[in-house]
Amino acid sequence: GKEIHCVGFDCGNSSIRTVLGHFDGTNIEVELIQQVPNGTVRVEGYDYWDILHIFSQMQQGLKQAVAAAGGTVASAGISTWGIDFGLFGPSGQLLGNPLCYRNELGGLGLGTLGEESRKKMFEQSGIQNHPMNSVYQFVGIRDHLPEYYRLAEKMMLTPDLLNFLFTGSFNTETSIASTTQLMNMRSGRFDDSLFDIAGIKKGIMPPVVDHGTVRGMLRQDIADYLDIAPLPFVAVPSHDTAAAVVTVPSLEGPFAFISSGTWSLIGTELSAPLINDEVYNCELANEGGACGTITLLKNSAGMHILQNVKNELEMRENRRFAWDEVVDLSLKAAAFLGDEKIPLFDPNHPSLYNPDSMIQALQLLTGEKKLDNILAGIYASLACNYGAAICDIEKITGTEYPVIHIIGGGCRNDHLNQMTADISGKPVVAGPVEATSLGTIAVQLMHHVPGLGLTDIRKIVSDSVQPLRFEPKVGRDRLYQRYEELLKP
């Protein structure tokens, strides 16, 4: 048969990627077309996204992808990180650069709600009360940037905003919408009562469309400018985590996943939300997954910590460090210290959220001065945190997961994969690396091939990838025990 070519945009906190997928009727092959750095820009204490830069890079990526596909692409789909949004004013203008969730507004926003309101927010949404959630950012904006709040008539989450810029259509889908905490995850619809509890204005959210349907057609003026034919933008799980989970190569029974990037999202896929006290106390969230599924997950710090330490190290020593070199330093230190002495810490400690210096923050938190030892501590603490979160999820769902699937860019980290296997006592299956873009491409097939469902898509993806397997080798009971003691309240 004829090949189908689809473009997947995977825009993360640190890179903007355009990937071209080729579907031959059985397998999907992905080809990286363009990758450019993404990052925030700090102005007077706030970090902002340069959204028009992102948009223009994506336009160039699209043009190159169409050329690479030989002139025609069937459709495109966009996934990005969660939570952040642009606000539009009365005359349809974007009211400024979207704020990055790493700021104090969200915490201030959440701080305006008492314990009872917080409980209600969770019970009605199914989402944990994380200070960064869009709802609390917006409460913070209401109180601290009032003129911005007053003018806001429409809220567009990052992928909604990018889809709008490409197509002119104003809509959203459940996965990205769930990261606002303004959606009732039982119904998959925005819920006025959540706006009321938080005390924010209603009627600002877009309509919700189903995965596999068309969000909009590429605007004719953009098609002309890029010199390509108009194409549909398909509704994919536009939250990167949800797109990534589509690609977990597990075809039988329930599975555990860790979607590893800037963040580590540790969870499982369910057919309906699980909303109870245990979920609340463990701070798990029922986020929107693909095609009506729920991803019950723990939002945990991930590569952000290592990435920041590496960047600082490079600045300090004025040279590049390869990841292998970083791993090497940590392995040597770990061997010297032993599991009794590796400095452990809670990767989700607030002092690591957005520090001026990650190295200093870690030194302060662990009481350890030596950088190599700290590196050993980062890997060990991340792996312990993975093990603990999977354990919580097993208890809460009453399910034992045979393996841990690690997907996304962070699964290239063999050392962390092996440690996770050792600490959890479960094999780790690592891959696909290209999870978000592959998921974004795969769900577009629902639009092109009638009758495809999530199970079919996961089968296609699973047949197209070769994950690596890490068997548990050495017991790390002492290390894990120390971590558990550390986290006890």
Question: In the complex, what is the shortest distance from the CB of residue 232 to ligand LFR, in angstroms, rounded to a whole number?
Answer: 24
Residue whose tokens read 């769930």: 178
Percent of residues in the chain assigned helix, strand, coil, to nearest 5: 45, 20, 35
Residue number with CB closer to ligand LFR (128 or 418): 128
Question: In the complex, what is the shortest distance from the CB of residue 104 to ligand LFR, in angstroms, rounded to a whole number?
Answer: 16
Residue 311 CA to residue 323 CA, distance in Å, equals 11
In the bound state, the residue with its beta carbon closest to ligand LFR is 82
Residue number with CB closer to ligand LFR (83 or 110): 83
Residue number with CB closer to ligand LFR (392 or 422): 392
Contact 174, 155 (CB under 8 A): no
Residue number with CB closer to ligand LFR (232 or 439): 439
Residue number with CB closer to ligand LFR (101 or 136): 101
What is the layout of strands, in order, in the sheet containing 28-37? 28-37, 15-23, 4-11, 75-80, 232-234, 214-217
Question: Which of the residues 84, 160, 240, 346 is marked catalytic?
Answer: 240
CA proximity to 124, closest of 182, 206, 207? 182
| Alpha-carbon Rg for the chain in angstroms | 22
The phi, psi pair for 386, rounded to 5°, reads -60, -50
Residue 132 CA to residue 353 CA, distance in Å, equals 11
CA proximity to 445, closest of 295, 291, 293? 291
Question: In the complex, what is the shortest distance from the CB of residue 306 to ligand LFR, in angstroms, rounded to a whole number?
Answer: 15
Question: In the complex, what is the shortest distance from the CB of residue 319 to ligand LFR, in angstroms, rounded to a whole number?
Answer: 29
Question: In the complex, what is the shortest distance from the CB of residue 223 to ligand LFR, in angstroms, rounded to a whole number?
Answer: 29
The phi, psi pair for 183, rounded to 5°, reads -110, 140
> Which pair of tokens denotes residue 457?
């898509």
Residue number with CB closer to ligand LFR (84 or 346): 84
Residue number with CB closer to ligand LFR (106 or 343): 106
Residue number with CB closer to ligand LFR (262 or 286): 262
Secondary structure class of 132 (helix, strand, coil): coil
CA proximity to 436, closest of 63, 9, 6, 4? 9
Q: What is the 3-state secondary structure (H, E, C) of 212-226?
A: CCEEEECCHHHHHHH
Question: In the complex, what is the shortest distance from the CB of residue 181 to ligand LFR, in angstroms, rounded to a whole number?
Answer: 11
Burial status of residue 251 (CB atoms within 10 A of its CB: 0-12, 13-18, 19 or more): exposed
- How many H-runs (helices) and E-runs (strands) does the chain carry? 19, 19
On the CB side of 33, CA atoms within 13 Å amount to 27
Question: In the complex, what is the shortest distance from the CB of residue 24 to ligand LFR, in angstroms, rounded to a whole number?
Answer: 30
List of residues contacting ligand LFR (CB under 6 A): 12, 81-83, 101, 239-241, 261-263, 265, 299
Residues in a beta bridge with 42: 47
Specify whether 240 is catalytic. Answer: yes
Decide the pairing of beta strands 75-80 and 46-49: unpaired
Residue 55 CA to residue 165 CA, distance in Å, equals 8
Question: In the complex, what is the shortest distance from the CB of residue 412 to ligand LFR, in angstroms, rounded to a whole number?
Answer: 16
Contact 1, 449 (CB under 8 A): no
Tell me the catalytic residues: 240
